Amino acid sequence: MLIKNTWDEALVYRLNFILWRVRVVIRFLITYFLWSSIYSGNQQFFGYSREMMLTYVLMVYLVSNFVFATRTQNIGSEINEGKLTNYLLKPFNYFISLGARDVSDKLLNFGCTVFEFAIIYLLFRPPFFFQENLGLIILAVVAFVGAVGVYFCISVLLGFLGFWTSEIWATRFIFIILLDFVAGNFFPIDILPKILSQILMLTPFPYMFYFPVKVYLGQLTTSATIQGFGVMAVWVFLLTKAMFLVWRKGLKVYSAEGR
C-alpha cells in the first residue's frame, strides 16, 4: 500500500517527474560526453582505457539512480514542520514506512533508468565492458546492496538533524557535493593522488558508487576487495547503530512544532 501510494504521489505532477528524469539523463550525458571527448584519441589516461572509463561512467549512472533514489531527503522538513507526528500515530514502525517509500522511489527511478540506458546504448553504442565472471557479478551485487544501506543511513541521519535544527538543507547540500567528488559519481576516485584516494577509502563515501562499480569491473585485487567489503560492513554497522541511537535521542526532544 505504501509503495503504491508513493508511486501515485510521484506521478501526480507528471511534468515535474518527466523533467526530473530529463535532468538525470542530461547530467549523465554531460559526464559521458566529457570523458568520451577526453578519450577521443583512444589513449590511456589515469590507468583507464576508453572502454573502462565509459563503462565506469555508465555503471555509475545505473548504480547511482538506484542508490540515490530516496524519499529520506524529506525527513528533516517533516520533523521541522511537525509532520512526523502523522507517522508516529500510525500503527506501524516508522522505519518500515521509510523503507517502503524508499523501495518505491528506487523501483520507479530504476525502471526509468533501465529504459533510458537502453535508449542511450542504442543511440551512442558506447564501448561497454560486460563482466563475464559470475563471481565478480555476485560480489558487485552484494556491494551494491551495501551501497544502498550506507546511503540510506547517512541520508536518514542528515534528516534527523531536523530534531535539533532547522538548518537541514545546508548539510544536505554539502553531502550532495561530496557524493559527486569523493563518492565517485563524477569520476573514479583512483584518478586522484594516491594518498588522497587511500584516505577516502576509509570514509563511507566511496562505498556508495565507486566500490560496487570497481568490483564489477574486476579492477580490484583480492586483498583490496576483502578490505573494501570489511570497511563497508563496519560503516553499515556503525551507521545503522547511529541511526537508531539518534532516532531515540531525537524523539525525546521532538515537540511536534508546527502542528
Query: Which residues would be at the binding site for other proteins (CB under 8 A)?
Result: 15-16, 19-20, 22-23, 26-27, 30, 33-34, 36-38, 40, 43, 45-46, 165-167, 169-171, 173-174, 177, 180-181, 186-187, 191-192
**Minimal distance, residue 67 CB to other proteins, in Å:** 20
Q: Cβ 229 to other proteins, closest distance in Å? A: 27
Residue 100 · residue 67 · CB < 8 Å: no
- Closest CB to other proteins among 1 and 26? 26
Instruction: Quote the CA–CA distance of 251 and 241 in Å, as a whole number.
Output: 16
Which one, 21 or 83, has the nearer CB to other proteins?
A: 21
CB-based contacts of 253: which residues, under 8 Å, 6+ apart?
Answer: 163, 164
Residue number with CB closer to other proteins (96 or 191)? 191
Tell me the closest approach of the beta carbon of residue 38 to other proteins, in angstroms: 6
d(CA 215, CA 213): 5
DSSP states along 84-140: HHHHHTSSS-HHHHHHHHHHHHHHHHHHHHHHHHHHHHHHH---------HHHHHHH
| 75 closest CA partner among 197, 157, 184 | 157
In the bound state with other proteins, the residue whose beta carbon lies nearer, of 40 and 255, is 40
| Nearest to other proteins of 97, 171 (CB atom) | 171
CA atoms within 13 A on the CB side of 198: 3
Min dist. Cβ of residue 92 to other proteins (A): 32
In the bound complex, what is the minimum distance in angstroms from residue 157's beta carbon to other proteins?
16
- Closer residue to other proteins in complex, CB, 144/186: 186
- State the minimum distance, in angstroms, from the CB of residue 30 to other proteins: 5
Contacts for 144-149: CB closer than 8 Å, 24+ residues apart: 144/63, 144/66, 144/67, 144/212, 146/207, 146/212, 146/229, 146/232, 146/233, 146/236, 147/63, 147/67, 147/207, 147/208, 147/209, 147/211, 147/212, 148/66, 148/67, 148/106, 149/236, 149/239, 149/240
Instruction: Find the shortest distance in angstroms from Cβ 117 to other proteins.
Output: 18
Nearer to other proteins, 133 or 165 (CB): 165
